[in-house]
Amino acid sequence: MKHPGFMFLAIFLPTALSSPVPLHADGAGSGFAVVELFTSEGCSSCPPADEALSRLVRSAQEKKLPVYVLEWHVDYWDYLGWKDPWGSRFATDRQYSYASSLPSSVYTPQVIINGQAVASYAGDQQELEALTRSFAALPGKSAISLTQVRRDSPVSVSARMEVMNAPSGSDVLLVEVEQGLSATPNAGENAGRTLVHSSVVRAVKVVPAVGGDVALQFPPAAAGATRGLIALLEDARTMRILAAAQAGLPETGGSELSGRVVDTEGRAIAGVQIQACSATLCIPSRTDEQGFFTLRGMPAGSYELDFSLPRSASARAMLLDHPKGIVVSKVVWLP
């Protein structure tokens, strides 16, 4: 659906993307793909794109590709009779800004990759996968990370953010997303149709591209939704995405899993990044100077523990507090 009253501009894809470069199985390189879908529950042509995005999320998770998905719900179709409950003026303004920085128009559904390329059709999963593989295979100069993610309250989160090689004139978008949202409009073009979404943006905050503690407030979660935190390092002038990071939001009142990482001689290894991932969220941590770590706010379930060593070393993890209901199904050591 074309947004009424906005001039149409030609859409192009960079020629370098015509032959996608596959991502190596070992995950070499520092590429990534940020997939931004501009959509609306009041748009009759949007549900196929929502479904394609959901399939893309599942595919990226299965292949462990560095793909970060944001579903922006615009508000300019609300006048058709159904007010999108996830719609925001920020999403609309962001899409208009892209129309100024890219050769594109404002319409839904629209997918933009890394702030640089516009997909020819947002509902084509094969095209989306080809684009994400292409960008994920490209090396990056900048980097961003989120650690020590803490739920300060049911509607707020704080984290430690590190930014590397951020060029001047760049910002960070700190975004809270929810998965598992759905609705059945009773009016408008999708009346009576059940709509399912992936990684819907519920809150966003622009912060300086410097390291330090960051905080974000967001609305109460919808029933059954899973929340996540995404950080995007962005060139404020061109809107190109330079780096991205994601972390799960631990639930308040969840269990804590603690342990220690040591080498083969029993000596503590500090600075080991740890991530506990279930089917729905990832919880990060890091070992302190004595090698101890704590994974907080873990709902009952099965988790894979990934340990990223700061140097080449032989190490082992000792679980000191293993609460009931937490199952460690796999341990992965990453160099």
Q: For residue 98, what is the enclosing H or E element?
A: helix 89-101
In this structure, are 54 and 162 located in the same domain? yes
Widest CA span of the chain, in angstroms? 70
Axis crossing angle, helix 47-63 with helix 125-136, rounded to the nearest 10: 40
Structure tokens at 213: 């503690």
The answer to whether position 65 is within a domain reads yes
What are the respective helix, strand and coil percentages of the chain, to the nearest 5?
15, 40, 45
Dist. CA 310–CA 50, nearest whole Å = 39
- pTM score over 0.75: no
Residue 254's pLDDT is 61
User: Under 8 Å CB-to-CB from 155, ≥6 apart: which residues?
Assistant: 217, 218, 219, 220
Listed range (81-95, 154-168, 238-252, 300-314) with the worst mean pLDDT: 300-314
Q: What is the pLDDT of residue 253?
A: 54
The residue among 222, 248, 274 that closes a domain is: 248
Quick one: CA torsion of 89, 90, 93, 95, rounded to 10 degrees? -110
Query: 299: pLDDT confidence band, cut at 50, 70 and 90?
Result: confident
Give domain status of residue 10, yes or no. no
Adjacent-strand bridge partners of 153: 156
Q: How confident is the model at residue 192 (pLDDT cuts 50, 70, 90)?
A: very high
Q: What percent of the chain has pLDDT over 90?
A: 53
Percent of the chain with pLDDT over 70: 89
Do 294 and 210 lie in a common domain?
A: no
Give the pLDDT mean for 91-111.
95
Q: Is the pLDDT of residue 22 over 60?
A: no
pLDDT surpasses 70 at 313: no
Instruction: Count how many domains the chain has.
Output: 2
CA atoms within 13 A on the CB side of 199: 27
Q: Last residue of a domain, which of 248, 271, 304?
A: 248
Nearest one of 287, 158, 290, 300 to 231, comparing CA atoms: 158
Q: Are residues 89 and 111 in the same domain?
A: yes
| Alpha-carbon gap, residue 187 to 74, rounded angstroms | 17
**Domain check: are 194 and 304 in the same one?**
no
**1 in a domain, yes or no?**
no
Indicate the burial class of 180 (C-beta count within 10 angstroms; 0-12, 13-18, 19 or more).
middle
The confidence score (pLDDT) of residue 3 equals: 62
Mean predicted confidence (pLDDT) in 88-99: 97
Residue range 175-181: mean pLDDT, rounded: 92
Does residue 276 sit in the same domain as residue 325?
Answer: yes
Question: Which residues contact residue 253 at a Cβ distance below 8 angstroms, ignoring those fewer than 6 apart?
Answer: 297
pLDDT at 189: 94
The whole-angstrom separation of Cα 80 and Cα 90 is 20
Q: What is the CA radius of gyration of the chain?
A: 20
More confident residue, 14 or 296: 296
Q: Is 105 within the bounds of a domain?
A: yes
d(CA 282, CA 284): 7
CB 35 within 8 A of CB 132: yes
Q: Does residue 5 form part of some domain?
A: no
- pLDDT band at residue 312 using 50, 70 and 90 as cut-offs: low
User: Within this chain, do residues 225 and 263 fall inside the same structural domain, yes or no?
Assistant: no
pLDDT at 5: 45
Run of H or E residues at 61: helix 47-63
Residue 246 has pLDDT above 50, yes or no: yes
Is a pLDDT exceeding 60 seen at residue 265? yes
Full residue range of the structural domain in which residue 241 is found? 15-248
Tell me, yes or no, whether 262 and 185 share the same domain.
no
- pLDDT at position 207, please? 95
**Is the Cβ–Cβ distance between 8 and 2 less than 8 Å?**
yes
Round to whole Å and give the CA distance between 41 and 100: 25
What average pLDDT does this structure show over 105-128?
Answer: 96
| CB-CB contact of 199 with 178 (8 Å) | yes
Q: What is the pLDDT of residue 205?
A: 96
| 182-183 and 195-196 beta bridge pairing | antiparallel
Pair (186, 325) in one structural domain: no
Mean pLDDT of the chain: 85
Measure the CA–CA gap between 46 and 43, rounded to whole angstroms. Answer: 5
The more confidently predicted of residues 251 and 21 is: 251
pLDDT band, very low/low/confident/very high, at 140 (cuts 50, 70, 90) = confident
Determine, yes or no, domain membership for 3: no
Phi then psi for residue 12, to 5 deg, are -135, 160
pLDDT exceeds 90 at position 318: no
- Any residues with CB less than 8 A from the CB of 213 and at least 6 apart, and which? 158, 159, 160, 161
Give the end of a domain, one of 248, 277, 307. Answer: 248
The CATH number given to whatever domain includes residue 310 is: 2.60.40.10
Q: Which of 82, 322, 66 is nearest to 195 (CA)?
A: 82
